[in-house]
Chains A and B, each alone.
Chain A
Protein backbone atom coordinates (compact mmCIF):
# COMPACT_ATOMS: atom_id res chain seq x y z
CA UNK A 1 0.00 0.00 0.00
CA UNK A 2 1.47 3.29 -1.10
CA UNK A 3 -1.11 5.30 0.81
CA UNK A 4 0.24 7.47 3.65
CA UNK A 5 -2.24 7.95 6.46
CA UNK A 6 -2.19 11.39 8.04
CA UNK A 7 -4.87 11.77 10.67
CA UNK A 8 -3.37 14.99 12.01
CA UNK A 9 -4.47 16.68 8.83
CA UNK A 10 -8.19 16.04 9.27
CA UNK A 11 -8.60 16.41 13.02
CA UNK A 12 -6.79 19.73 13.45
CA UNK A 13 -6.60 23.10 11.79
CA UNK A 14 -8.95 24.14 9.00
CA UNK A 15 -10.15 20.64 8.13
CA UNK A 16 -10.84 19.86 11.76
CA UNK A 17 -13.06 22.93 11.83
CA UNK A 18 -14.87 21.74 8.71
CA UNK A 19 -15.66 18.44 10.41
CA UNK A 20 -16.89 20.24 13.53
CA UNK A 21 -19.07 22.57 11.41
CA UNK A 22 -20.42 19.55 9.54
CA UNK A 23 -21.30 17.81 12.79
CA UNK A 24 -23.20 20.88 13.99
CA UNK A 25 -25.23 20.98 10.75
CA UNK A 26 -25.94 17.23 10.97
CA UNK A 27 -27.17 17.58 14.55
CA UNK A 28 -29.22 20.68 13.71
CA UNK A 29 -30.97 19.20 10.67
CA UNK A 30 -31.58 15.93 12.55
CA UNK A 31 -33.02 17.60 15.65
CA UNK A 32 -35.35 19.81 13.63
CA UNK A 33 -36.52 16.90 11.45
CA UNK A 34 -37.02 14.65 14.48
CA UNK A 35 -39.28 17.20 16.17
CA UNK A 36 -41.30 17.88 13.01
CA UNK A 37 -41.61 14.23 11.97
CA UNK A 38 -42.89 13.32 15.42
CA UNK A 39 -45.70 15.87 15.07
CA UNK A 40 -46.51 14.93 11.48
CA UNK A 41 -46.25 11.20 12.20
CA UNK A 42 -48.71 11.47 15.10
CA UNK A 43 -51.13 13.45 12.96
CA UNK A 44 -50.96 10.94 10.10
CA UNK A 45 -51.39 8.03 12.49
CA UNK A 46 -54.52 9.56 14.04
CA UNK A 47 -55.88 10.20 10.54
CA UNK A 48 -55.11 6.60 9.60
CA UNK A 49 -57.16 5.37 12.56
CA UNK A 50 -60.04 7.81 12.18
CA UNK A 51 -63.45 6.58 11.11
CA UNK A 52 -63.67 9.09 8.24
CA UNK A 53 -62.90 7.05 5.13
CA UNK A 54 -61.40 10.02 3.25
CA UNK A 55 -58.91 10.88 6.01
CA UNK A 56 -58.00 7.22 6.43
CA UNK A 57 -57.41 6.85 2.70
CA UNK A 58 -55.23 9.99 2.53
CA UNK A 59 -53.12 8.78 5.46
CA UNK A 60 -52.80 5.27 3.99
CA UNK A 61 -51.67 6.62 0.61
CA UNK A 62 -49.21 8.95 2.31
CA UNK A 63 -47.68 6.18 4.42
CA UNK A 64 -47.39 3.67 1.57
CA UNK A 65 -46.02 6.18 -0.91
CA UNK A 66 -43.36 7.67 1.33
CA UNK A 67 -42.25 4.34 2.75
CA UNK A 68 -41.89 2.72 -0.65
CA UNK A 69 -39.85 5.36 -2.49
CA UNK A 70 -36.14 6.07 -1.92
CA UNK A 71 -35.31 9.03 0.29
CA UNK A 72 -32.82 10.30 -2.28
CA UNK A 73 -35.55 10.57 -4.92
CA UNK A 74 -37.76 12.37 -2.40
CA UNK A 75 -34.97 14.83 -1.65
CA UNK A 76 -34.57 15.51 -5.37
CA UNK A 77 -38.31 15.82 -5.75
CA UNK A 78 -38.56 18.51 -3.07
CA UNK A 79 -35.42 20.33 -4.16
CA UNK A 80 -35.81 20.27 -7.94
CA UNK A 81 -39.38 19.29 -8.63
CA UNK A 82 -41.65 20.84 -6.05
CA UNK A 83 -41.07 24.50 -6.88
CA UNK A 84 -43.19 24.43 -10.02
CA UNK A 85 -46.26 23.14 -8.17
CA UNK A 86 -45.95 24.68 -4.69
CA UNK A 87 -48.03 27.80 -4.00
CA UNK A 88 -46.15 31.02 -4.66
CA UNK A 89 -46.22 32.04 -0.99
CA UNK A 90 -44.29 28.89 -0.07
CA UNK A 91 -41.65 29.28 -2.78
CA UNK A 92 -41.20 32.94 -1.82
CA UNK A 93 -40.64 31.88 1.75
CA UNK A 94 -38.18 29.17 0.65
CA UNK A 95 -36.22 31.80 -1.26
CA UNK A 96 -35.76 33.86 1.89
CA UNK A 97 -34.39 30.98 4.00
CA UNK A 98 -31.56 28.53 3.39
CA UNK A 99 -33.23 26.62 0.57
CA UNK A 100 -31.07 23.49 0.66
CA UNK A 101 -31.41 23.16 4.42
CA UNK A 102 -35.18 23.72 4.27
CA UNK A 103 -35.68 21.13 1.51
CA UNK A 104 -33.52 18.68 3.47
CA UNK A 105 -35.68 19.14 6.56
CA UNK A 106 -38.88 18.77 4.53
CA UNK A 107 -37.68 15.58 2.85
CA UNK A 108 -36.38 13.97 6.05
CA UNK A 109 -39.55 14.94 7.93
CA UNK A 110 -42.00 13.57 5.36
CA UNK A 111 -39.98 10.36 4.96
CA UNK A 112 -39.53 9.63 8.67
CA UNK A 113 -43.09 10.65 9.61
CA UNK A 114 -44.45 7.78 7.48
CA UNK A 115 -42.37 5.29 9.49
CA UNK A 116 -43.27 6.91 12.81
CA UNK A 117 -46.98 6.78 11.93
CA UNK A 118 -46.72 3.01 11.40
CA UNK A 119 -44.75 2.47 14.62
CA UNK A 120 -47.27 4.51 16.55
CA UNK A 121 -50.14 2.57 15.00
CA UNK A 122 -48.70 -0.71 16.21
CA UNK A 123 -48.22 0.91 19.63
CA UNK A 124 -51.87 1.91 19.69
CA UNK A 125 -52.94 -1.60 18.68
CA UNK A 126 -51.02 -2.94 21.67
CA UNK A 127 -53.42 -1.05 23.95
CA UNK A 128 -56.66 -2.91 24.72
CA UNK A 129 -59.58 -1.66 22.64
CA UNK A 130 -61.69 -1.29 25.77
CA UNK A 131 -59.58 1.75 26.74
CA UNK A 132 -60.92 3.71 23.79
CA UNK A 133 -64.46 2.39 24.30
CA UNK A 134 -64.43 3.23 27.99
CA UNK A 135 -63.15 6.75 27.40
CA UNK A 136 -65.71 7.32 24.65
CA UNK A 137 -68.41 6.05 27.02
CA UNK A 138 -67.24 8.55 29.65
CA UNK A 139 -68.10 11.29 27.18
CA UNK A 140 -64.68 12.12 25.71
CA UNK A 141 -64.62 12.88 22.00
CA UNK A 142 -62.45 10.74 19.67
CA UNK A 143 -59.73 13.38 19.68
CA UNK A 144 -59.86 13.78 23.46
CA UNK A 145 -59.71 10.02 24.00
CA UNK A 146 -56.71 9.83 21.68
CA UNK A 147 -54.95 12.82 23.22
CA UNK A 148 -55.48 12.06 26.89
CA UNK A 149 -55.84 8.29 27.11
CA UNK A 150 -54.51 6.33 24.13
CA UNK A 151 -51.52 8.30 22.79
CA UNK A 152 -49.73 8.84 26.14
CA UNK A 153 -49.74 5.08 26.72
CA UNK A 154 -48.84 4.23 23.12
CA UNK A 155 -45.87 6.58 23.12
CA UNK A 156 -44.44 4.86 26.16
CA UNK A 157 -44.61 1.50 24.40
CA UNK A 158 -42.97 2.72 21.21
CA UNK A 159 -40.03 4.58 22.72
CA UNK A 160 -37.47 1.94 21.57
CA UNK A 161 -38.65 1.72 17.91
CA UNK A 162 -39.04 5.50 17.90
CA UNK A 163 -35.45 6.00 19.00
CA UNK A 164 -34.21 3.66 16.29
CA UNK A 165 -36.24 5.71 13.77
CA UNK A 166 -34.43 8.80 15.06
CA UNK A 167 -31.12 6.99 14.62
CA UNK A 168 -32.09 6.12 11.06
CA UNK A 169 -32.93 9.76 10.50
CA UNK A 170 -29.49 10.87 11.69
CA UNK A 171 -27.87 8.37 9.33
CA UNK A 172 -30.24 9.32 6.51
CA UNK A 173 -29.37 12.98 6.97
CA UNK A 174 -26.09 12.15 5.18
CA UNK A 175 -28.10 12.09 1.94
CA UNK A 176 -28.81 15.82 2.01
CA UNK A 177 -25.20 16.36 0.94
CA UNK A 178 -26.45 15.65 -2.60
CA UNK A 179 -28.33 18.96 -2.66
CA UNK A 180 -25.43 20.81 -1.06
CA UNK A 181 -26.21 20.98 2.65
CA UNK A 182 -22.80 21.21 4.30
CA UNK A 183 -23.25 18.42 6.86
CA UNK A 184 -20.79 15.81 8.08
CA UNK A 185 -20.62 13.59 4.98
CA UNK A 186 -20.47 16.63 2.70
CA UNK A 187 -17.49 17.92 4.66
CA UNK A 188 -15.72 14.56 4.48
CA UNK A 189 -16.23 14.54 0.72
CA UNK A 190 -15.00 18.13 0.58
CA UNK A 191 -11.81 17.29 2.51
CA UNK A 192 -11.25 14.38 0.11
CA UNK A 193 -11.52 16.75 -2.83
CA UNK A 194 -9.10 19.25 -1.28
CA UNK A 195 -6.41 16.98 0.12
CA UNK A 196 -6.85 13.51 -1.46
CA UNK A 197 -6.83 12.21 2.10
CA UNK A 198 -10.37 10.88 1.86
CA UNK A 199 -9.81 7.73 3.89
CA UNK A 200 -8.84 9.67 7.02
CA UNK A 201 -11.78 12.01 6.60
CA UNK A 202 -14.15 9.04 6.13
CA UNK A 203 -12.65 7.26 9.14
CA UNK A 204 -13.22 10.28 11.38
CA UNK A 205 -16.79 10.90 10.17
CA UNK A 206 -17.63 7.18 10.38
CA UNK A 207 -16.40 7.18 13.98
CA UNK A 208 -18.59 10.21 14.77
CA UNK A 209 -21.71 8.55 13.30
CA UNK A 210 -20.80 5.37 15.14
CA UNK A 211 -20.37 7.19 18.44
CA UNK A 212 -23.81 8.79 18.08
CA UNK A 213 -25.42 5.41 17.26
CA UNK A 214 -23.71 3.54 20.05
CA UNK A 215 -24.58 6.13 22.68
CA UNK A 216 -28.21 6.14 21.57
CA UNK A 217 -28.58 2.35 21.29
CA UNK A 218 -26.95 1.95 24.70
CA UNK A 219 -29.55 4.28 26.15
CA UNK A 220 -32.37 2.30 24.50
CA UNK A 221 -31.05 -0.84 26.16
CA UNK A 222 -30.99 0.91 29.52
CA UNK A 223 -34.53 2.16 28.91
CA UNK A 224 -35.66 -1.36 28.00
CA UNK A 225 -34.06 -2.76 31.13
CA UNK A 226 -35.30 -0.16 33.60
CA UNK A 227 -38.47 1.59 32.45
CA UNK A 228 -40.23 -1.15 30.47
CA UNK A 229 -39.53 -3.78 33.12
CA UNK A 230 -41.05 -1.63 35.86
CA UNK A 231 -43.94 -0.40 33.71
CA UNK A 232 -45.30 -3.91 33.32
Chain B
Protein backbone atom coordinates (compact mmCIF):
# COMPACT_ATOMS: atom_id res chain seq x y z
CA UNK B 1 0.00 0.00 0.00
CA UNK B 2 1.29 3.45 -0.89
CA UNK B 3 -0.96 5.83 0.98
CA UNK B 4 1.83 8.42 1.05
CA UNK B 5 1.06 9.10 -2.63
CA UNK B 6 -2.45 10.17 -1.65
CA UNK B 7 -1.15 12.10 1.36
CA UNK B 8 1.43 14.02 -0.73
CA UNK B 9 -1.11 14.96 -3.39
CA UNK B 10 -4.13 15.60 -1.18
CA UNK B 11 -3.93 19.36 -1.65
CA UNK B 12 -3.83 18.82 -5.40
CA UNK B 13 -6.98 16.68 -5.18
CA UNK B 14 -8.77 19.36 -3.18
CA UNK B 15 -7.92 22.55 -5.11
CA UNK B 16 -5.45 21.70 -7.89
CA UNK B 17 -2.38 23.89 -8.35
CA UNK B 18 -4.18 26.89 -6.81
CA UNK B 19 -3.01 29.55 -5.80
CA UNK B 20 0.19 29.18 -7.87
CA UNK B 21 -1.66 27.77 -10.88
CA UNK B 22 -5.21 27.25 -12.12
CA UNK B 23 -7.91 26.08 -9.71
CA UNK B 24 -8.65 22.38 -10.04
CA UNK B 25 -9.55 19.27 -8.08
CA UNK B 26 -12.65 19.02 -5.93
CA UNK B 27 -12.99 22.83 -5.73
CA UNK B 28 -13.29 23.01 -9.53
CA UNK B 29 -15.81 20.14 -9.57
CA UNK B 30 -18.00 21.90 -7.01
CA UNK B 31 -17.69 25.26 -8.76
CA UNK B 32 -18.71 23.69 -12.07
CA UNK B 33 -21.65 21.98 -10.41
CA UNK B 34 -22.75 25.26 -8.83
CA UNK B 35 -22.44 27.18 -12.10
CA UNK B 36 -24.24 24.34 -13.85
CA UNK B 37 -27.16 24.17 -11.43
CA UNK B 38 -27.57 27.97 -11.49
CA UNK B 39 -27.81 28.06 -15.29
CA UNK B 40 -29.84 24.87 -15.49
CA UNK B 41 -32.36 26.16 -12.95
CA UNK B 42 -33.30 29.23 -14.98
CA UNK B 43 -33.22 27.45 -18.34
CA UNK B 44 -35.13 24.48 -16.91
CA UNK B 45 -37.72 26.74 -15.28
CA UNK B 46 -38.32 28.50 -18.61
CA UNK B 47 -38.59 25.23 -20.53
CA UNK B 48 -40.76 23.61 -17.86
CA UNK B 49 -43.22 26.53 -17.94
CA UNK B 50 -43.26 26.46 -21.76
CA UNK B 51 -43.91 22.70 -21.60
CA UNK B 52 -47.02 23.42 -19.48
CA UNK B 53 -48.30 26.12 -21.80
CA UNK B 54 -51.43 25.55 -23.87
CA UNK B 55 -49.88 27.31 -26.88
CA UNK B 56 -48.58 24.78 -29.38
CA UNK B 57 -45.58 26.89 -30.46
CA UNK B 58 -44.33 26.93 -26.86
CA UNK B 59 -45.40 23.45 -25.83
CA UNK B 60 -44.08 21.25 -28.64
CA UNK B 61 -40.58 22.74 -29.06
CA UNK B 62 -39.97 22.38 -25.32
CA UNK B 63 -41.39 18.84 -25.38
CA UNK B 64 -39.01 17.92 -28.20
CA UNK B 65 -36.09 19.59 -26.36
CA UNK B 66 -36.81 17.62 -23.18
CA UNK B 67 -37.24 14.29 -24.95
CA UNK B 68 -34.11 14.68 -27.09
CA UNK B 69 -31.87 15.69 -24.19
CA UNK B 70 -33.24 13.02 -21.85
CA UNK B 71 -32.75 10.35 -24.50
CA UNK B 72 -29.12 11.25 -25.12
CA UNK B 73 -26.13 10.30 -22.95
CA UNK B 74 -24.47 13.27 -21.24
CA UNK B 75 -21.16 12.32 -22.85
CA UNK B 76 -22.77 12.83 -26.27
CA UNK B 77 -24.03 16.29 -25.25
CA UNK B 78 -20.55 17.20 -24.02
CA UNK B 79 -18.98 16.08 -27.30
CA UNK B 80 -21.60 18.00 -29.20
CA UNK B 81 -20.72 21.32 -27.63
CA UNK B 82 -17.03 20.57 -27.65
CA UNK B 83 -16.96 19.97 -31.39
CA UNK B 84 -19.76 22.34 -32.37
CA UNK B 85 -18.27 25.42 -30.69
CA UNK B 86 -15.44 25.92 -33.24
CA UNK B 87 -17.95 25.57 -36.08
CA UNK B 88 -20.43 28.02 -34.50
CA UNK B 89 -18.05 30.66 -33.14
CA UNK B 90 -15.11 30.22 -35.48
CA UNK B 91 -12.81 29.51 -32.53
CA UNK B 92 -12.82 26.91 -29.80
CA UNK B 93 -14.10 27.80 -26.34
CA UNK B 94 -12.02 26.99 -23.26
CA UNK B 95 -12.72 23.38 -22.26
CA UNK B 96 -14.40 24.27 -18.99
CA UNK B 97 -16.78 26.67 -20.72
CA UNK B 98 -18.04 24.15 -23.25
CA UNK B 99 -18.34 21.58 -20.43
CA UNK B 100 -20.48 23.94 -18.34
CA UNK B 101 -22.69 24.78 -21.32
CA UNK B 102 -23.20 21.06 -21.94
CA UNK B 103 -23.98 20.44 -18.26
CA UNK B 104 -26.48 23.31 -18.22
CA UNK B 105 -28.24 22.13 -21.38
CA UNK B 106 -28.32 18.52 -20.15
CA UNK B 107 -29.54 19.26 -16.62
CA UNK B 108 -32.11 21.85 -17.72
CA UNK B 109 -34.18 19.11 -19.38
CA UNK B 110 -34.37 17.22 -16.07
CA UNK B 111 -35.12 20.43 -14.13
CA UNK B 112 -37.91 21.18 -16.61
CA UNK B 113 -39.51 17.83 -15.81
CA UNK B 114 -39.17 18.50 -12.06
CA UNK B 115 -40.83 21.90 -12.51
CA UNK B 116 -43.63 20.35 -14.53
CA UNK B 117 -44.24 17.64 -11.94
CA UNK B 118 -44.22 20.28 -9.18
CA UNK B 119 -46.77 22.48 -10.91
CA UNK B 120 -49.02 19.54 -11.81
CA UNK B 121 -48.98 18.28 -8.21
CA UNK B 122 -50.65 21.47 -6.97
CA UNK B 123 -54.44 21.37 -6.62
CA UNK B 124 -56.18 22.66 -9.73
CA UNK B 125 -58.24 25.08 -7.65
CA UNK B 126 -55.18 27.28 -7.13
CA UNK B 127 -54.99 28.18 -10.80
CA UNK B 128 -58.75 28.52 -11.15
CA UNK B 129 -59.10 30.74 -8.07
CA UNK B 130 -56.25 33.01 -9.16
CA UNK B 131 -57.62 33.33 -12.68
CA UNK B 132 -61.03 33.90 -11.19
CA UNK B 133 -59.73 36.83 -9.14
CA UNK B 134 -58.60 38.48 -12.35
CA UNK B 135 -54.90 37.59 -12.59
CA UNK B 136 -53.58 36.74 -16.04
CA UNK B 137 -52.06 33.31 -16.71
CA UNK B 138 -48.51 34.71 -16.47
CA UNK B 139 -49.27 36.57 -13.22
CA UNK B 140 -50.83 33.45 -11.71
CA UNK B 141 -47.75 31.42 -12.63
CA UNK B 142 -45.28 33.93 -11.20
CA UNK B 143 -47.12 34.93 -8.02
CA UNK B 144 -49.24 31.90 -7.09
CA UNK B 145 -48.21 28.63 -8.74
CA UNK B 146 -44.41 28.74 -9.07
CA UNK B 147 -43.60 29.92 -5.52
CA UNK B 148 -45.55 26.97 -4.08
CA UNK B 149 -44.33 24.45 -6.65
CA UNK B 150 -40.68 25.47 -6.34
CA UNK B 151 -40.84 25.25 -2.55
CA UNK B 152 -42.13 21.68 -2.78
CA UNK B 153 -39.47 20.85 -5.33
CA UNK B 154 -36.45 21.90 -3.26
CA UNK B 155 -35.51 18.28 -2.36
CA UNK B 156 -35.63 17.29 -6.05
CA UNK B 157 -33.41 20.24 -6.93
CA UNK B 158 -30.90 19.15 -4.31
CA UNK B 159 -30.96 15.62 -5.76
CA UNK B 160 -30.39 17.05 -9.21
CA UNK B 161 -27.45 19.00 -7.83
CA UNK B 162 -26.00 15.74 -6.49
CA UNK B 163 -26.35 14.15 -9.95
CA UNK B 164 -24.72 17.20 -11.48
CA UNK B 165 -21.80 17.00 -9.07
CA UNK B 166 -21.27 13.41 -10.14
CA UNK B 167 -21.72 14.38 -13.79
CA UNK B 168 -18.95 17.00 -13.65
CA UNK B 169 -16.53 14.04 -13.64
CA UNK B 170 -17.33 13.62 -17.35
CA UNK B 171 -15.71 16.98 -18.07
CA UNK B 172 -12.42 15.12 -17.57
CA UNK B 173 -12.97 13.46 -20.95
CA UNK B 174 -12.59 16.78 -22.80
CA UNK B 175 -9.68 17.75 -20.58
CA UNK B 176 -11.12 20.00 -17.85
CA UNK B 177 -8.89 20.00 -14.78
CA UNK B 178 -11.31 18.81 -12.11
CA UNK B 179 -11.15 16.04 -9.50
CA UNK B 180 -11.21 13.03 -11.84
CA UNK B 181 -8.53 14.62 -14.06
CA UNK B 182 -6.39 15.30 -10.98
CA UNK B 183 -6.71 11.61 -10.06
CA UNK B 184 -5.68 10.34 -13.50
CA UNK B 185 -2.77 12.82 -13.59
CA UNK B 186 -1.42 11.73 -10.22
CA UNK B 187 -2.03 8.10 -11.19
CA UNK B 188 -0.04 8.30 -14.41
CA UNK B 189 2.74 10.24 -12.70
CA UNK B 190 3.21 7.81 -9.81
CA UNK B 191 1.98 4.54 -11.33
CA UNK B 192 2.12 2.64 -8.04
CA UNK B 193 -1.04 3.49 -6.15
CA UNK B 194 -4.09 3.34 -8.45
CA UNK B 195 -6.22 1.63 -5.79
CA UNK B 196 -5.44 4.20 -3.11
CA UNK B 197 -5.89 7.16 -5.47
CA UNK B 198 -9.22 6.14 -6.99
CA UNK B 199 -10.61 5.05 -3.62
CA UNK B 200 -9.71 8.47 -2.20
CA UNK B 201 -11.31 10.27 -5.13
CA UNK B 202 -14.45 8.19 -4.78
CA UNK B 203 -14.56 9.02 -1.05
CA UNK B 204 -14.20 12.75 -1.76
CA UNK B 205 -17.15 12.69 -4.18
CA UNK B 206 -19.02 10.50 -1.71
CA UNK B 207 -18.64 12.94 1.19
CA UNK B 208 -20.02 15.84 -0.86
CA UNK B 209 -22.86 13.88 -2.45
CA UNK B 210 -23.85 11.97 0.68
CA UNK B 211 -24.11 15.11 2.80
CA UNK B 212 -26.34 16.70 0.14
CA UNK B 213 -28.47 13.56 -0.24
CA UNK B 214 -29.04 13.48 3.53
CA UNK B 215 -29.94 17.17 3.43
CA UNK B 216 -32.50 16.52 0.72
CA UNK B 217 -34.03 13.66 2.75
CA UNK B 218 -34.34 15.88 5.83
CA UNK B 219 -35.90 18.67 3.76
CA UNK B 220 -38.35 16.22 2.24
CA UNK B 221 -39.64 15.02 5.61
CA UNK B 222 -39.85 18.63 6.82
CA UNK B 223 -41.81 19.73 3.77
CA UNK B 224 -44.13 16.72 3.99
CA UNK B 225 -44.81 17.48 7.66
CA UNK B 226 -45.42 21.15 6.83
CA UNK B 227 -47.92 20.22 4.13
CA UNK B 228 -49.69 17.64 6.30
CA UNK B 229 -50.21 20.35 8.93
CA UNK B 230 -51.77 22.66 6.35
CA UNK B 231 -54.47 20.18 5.44
Contacts and interface: CB of A to CB of B under 8 A. Distances in A.
Contact of B79 (A2, A65, A68, A198): A198
Contacts of B210: 64, 68
B205 A206 contact: no
Most chain A beta carbons < 10 A, residue from B79, B162, B195:
B79
A84 B76 contact: no
Nearest to B1: A84
B98 to A, nearest CB: 13
A71 B68 contact: no
Nearest to B167: A70
B67 A214 contact: yes
Most chain B beta carbons < 10 A, residue from A69, A175, A209:
A69
Nearest to A170: B73
Interface string A172-191: 10110110000001001100
Most chain A beta carbons < 10 A, residue from B83, B84, B162:
B83
Interface string A1-40: 1110000000000000000000000000000000000000
A202 B205 contact: no
Nearest to B212: A68
Contacts of A92: none
B75 A175 contact: yes
Interface of A (DSSP majority class): helix
A106 B58 CA distance: 43
Interface string B166-194: 11111011000000100110010000001
A205 interface: yes
Nearest to A216: B71
Interface in A51-104: 64-65, 67-74, 76-77, 80-85
Nearest to B173: A178
Nearest to A173: B73
Contacts of A80: 187, 194, 198
Nearest to A172: B73
Interface in B195-231: 195-199, 201-202, 205-206, 209-210, 213
B198 A73 contact: yes
Give the bracket for the number of chain A residues in contact with chain B: 35 or more
Given A69-B205, A81-B198, A174 B67 contact: no
A106 to B, nearest CB: 14
Contacts of A1: 87-88
A198 B87 CA distance: 11
A228 interface: no
Interface string B35-68: 0000000000000000000000000000000011
Contacts of B73: 171-172, 174-175, 185, 209
A198 B169 CA distance: 22
Nearest to B87: A3
Contacts of B209: 68-69
A205 B198 contact: no
Give the bracket for the number of chain B residues in contact with chain A: 35 or more
A145 interface: no
Nearest to B179: A73
A83 B184 CA distance: 16
A73 B87 CA distance: 31
B76 A174 contact: yes
B64 to A, nearest CB: 11
B3 interface: no
B80 interface: yes
A213 B70 contact: yes
A214 B70 CA distance: 10
Contacts of B136: none
Given A3-B87, A76-B184, A69 B79 contact: no
A72 B199 CA distance: 12
12 contacts: A65-B202, A68-B205, A68-B213, A70-B180, A73-B180, A81-B195, A82-B195, A84-B194, A185-B76, A192-B83, A202-B83, A214-B71
Interface of B: 67-68, 70-76, 79-80, 83-84, 87-88, 162, 166-170, 172-173, 180, 183-184, 187, 194-199, 201-202, 205-206, 209-210, 213
Interface of A: 1-3, 64-65, 67-74, 76-77, 80-85, 171-172, 174-175, 177-178, 185, 188-189, 192, 198-199, 202, 205-206, 209-210, 212-214, 217
